[in-house]
A and B are shown apart, each in its own frame.
Chain A
Amino acid sequence: MSAPETAAAPAAAPAAAPRGPLALRDARFLASELRLVMTRRRNLVMLAVLALATIAIGVAIEVTSPDPGEISPGEGPPFLASITENGLFLAFTALVASLPVFLPLAVSVVSGEAIAGEASTGTLRYLLVTPVDRTRLLAVKLVATAFYGLVAAMVVVITGVVVGALLFPVGDITLLSGTTVSYGEGLLRLLGVALYVTAMLTTVAALGLLVSTFTEVPVAAMSATAITVVLVEILQAVPQLSAIHPWLFTTAWLDFGDLLRDPVVLDGVVRGLALQAGWIAVLLALAWARLTSKDVTS
């Protein structure tokens, strides 16, 4: 048989193409995965819900707020009182409001779908025989899900900025430490907060990926991930468990307030990021161990 021999030659040539995690050919698969995540109608609906929730918060505050001047400082939840003074704070408030439930829920849905969704449609077996290396598959899925987390956070932030500008005064912004900075710097700090929130959501993405390797039922993976996040938040709220609180991944979720002080206090933020990095490493290692050893019979 000489034909297979000749056919082997062209197949061998591209195999010599650059390898490694950042090779251009891998970017093509990542782009395909991002397109899949970002064009899925359900994922877009969740983004729309996040935007609507932000709008609802803005409208509710506008409708119920007394005339300017009647507000006594320190009243109401953090940030809320500041919104009527500066619309930019609507974006912060919306992030604080969506971080415990809405944002993790959206990321749970996308990450729970990641492996279990491919398994349930049967496309997982075809990806693996393409072949897509299982480690590479996990990396691409994590990056795509984290990207969705970033987009979700940015949707809240951008909606907050726009609606805040429409409903409330806009101008120089007074930080939590009392100093006043320009609107532009306020926007910059807001971007920093959005990136911090994305890092927190990446832990949820890694958790969802891990759960997703254990089942062929995407809904089960999504709900298990979301329930785990809520469970950890409940543990966080029980004072008797204060001994484990520093190690829960939700501990530092709201520490981004430090980015709104002058000078910026990075201690809490750095600690939060380090804790997330640790959790992500552990969850990914478990997901990798599971995915690379499992028999794909779906």
Chain B
Amino acid sequence: MSTSVQAAPATAAAASGAALAVRTEGLTKRFRTGQVAVADLDLAVPAGAVYGFLGPNGSGKTTTIRMLLGLVAPTAGTVHLLGHPVPGERSAVLPRVGALVEGPAFHPYLTGEENLRRADAADRTVDPRTSRARIAAALDRVGLAAAAGKRYRVYSLGMRQRLGLAMALLRPRDLLVLDEPTNGLDPQGTREVRTLVREVAAEGTTVMVSTHLLAEVEQLATHVGVMSAGRMVAQGTLAEVTSATTTRVEVDCRQPRVAADVLTAAGLDGVAVAADGVRADLGPADPEAVLAALVAAGAGVRQFALHRSTLEELFVALTGEGFDVRA
């Protein structure tokens, strides 16, 4: 299934390579310990997309993001950000990329504003004269204007996360790479981040966001990529990836055995009989015809429902149910 889903962006990439904001080919990272964190990864984030980067803890998302930003050198494969090879041309392209990598990090004894001033001073490609205004605007945008003068050490986790976002938004960016931006935020904060990402995306910025909140991705993302054990197991538009999931038929009826026979005769797979009904995979069958056949056979249908898998079910199906961290 993963191959059929991946086929679409791959051909799109071949059609126009420049249309991809992030492109990796055969990206692999083997650490000195021998552990393969990322294996043969072909990432394709179209320009203008909001790309949900999914995967369980330890699946290689953060290592991938570190390689995208030139922090970690790949063992094999190539990375292109906005058409530039990384790390080769990182000094040319990284000013156009805002990033939040594995949580915010600032000097604890400086205030939020001082920390942003330092971050801005380190960027040799910005105009120092606009520094003050841009810092104020970024703080305002993430709702930290009132806490700008407080030391970072007294910030709550949510405030720290906001300051990290403010740093990523210190200047207009063509690409935002956000690793777990909603980590530690309360529901209001999560909503605000969602709104922020929508605003930024509406301005034409490509957003690549890794998160565990699959409901967020369903609301926000135009494209998704799912990683598991260092590999990409599904990638494409949200519709492409979720259409790969099966639709379940749920029938509540008086005669489950009769209904099961009808469903099997109609060519449905995975028929399961319970005390008060039947479940089956719809497959390519026409649900209205199936319902008509059930009624005609006198199964005593009380309720007939179609249940499409959520992204979460797809995610678990793709990456496994297990609680254990990958060794």
Contacts and interface: CB of A to CB of B under 8 A. Distances in A.
Interface of A: 1-4, 6-8, 10-11, 14-15, 17, 23, 25-26, 28-29, 31-32, 36, 40-41, 121-123, 125-133, 293, 295-297
Interface of B: 19, 21, 47-48, 66, 69-73, 82, 90-92, 94-97, 99, 101-110, 117-119, 121-128, 167, 171-175, 203-206
Contacts, number: 121
Contacts of A128: 69-71
Contact of B92 (A15, A31, A130): A15
Q: Is the interface of B mostly helix, strand, loop or mixed?
A: loop
6 contacts: A2-B204, A3-B48, A4-B47, A132-B122, A296-B66, A297-B71
B71 A125 contact: yes
B172 A3 contact: no
A256 to B, nearest CB: 36
A133 B171 CA distance: 19
B73 A11 contact: no
Given A8-B96, A8-B174, A131-B70, A1 B106 contact: no
B119 A126 contact: yes
A125 B122 contact: no
Contacts of B66: 125, 295-297
A32 B124 contact: no
Contacts of A131: 70, 90-91, 94-95
A202 to B, nearest CB: 23
Contact of A295 (B19, B47, B72, B121): B72
A11 B96 contact: yes
A130 B94 contact: yes
B128 A28 contact: yes
Given A7-B174, A32-B117, A296-B72, A130 B123 contact: yes
A114 to B, nearest CB: 13
Contacts of A130: 94-95, 119, 122-123
Q: Which residue, B73, B124, B128, has most C-beta atoms of chain A within 10 A? A: B124
B152 to A, nearest CB: 9
A29 B124 contact: yes
Given A1-B48, A7-B205, A15-B92, A123 B72 contact: no
B126 to A, nearest CB: 6
A36 B71 CA distance: 24
A10 B172 contact: yes
B181 to A, nearest CB: 14
B154 to A, nearest CB: 15
Nearest to B37: A297
B101 A126 contact: yes
A54 to B, nearest CB: 28
A38 to B, nearest CB: 13
Given A4-B175, A129-B101, 11 more contacts: A4-B82, A4-B174, A7-B204, A10-B172, A14-B125, A25-B124, A123-B107, A126-B101, A126-B167, A131-B70, A132-B122
Contacts of A122: 102-105
Contacts of B105: 121-123, 125-126
B69 to A, nearest CB: 5
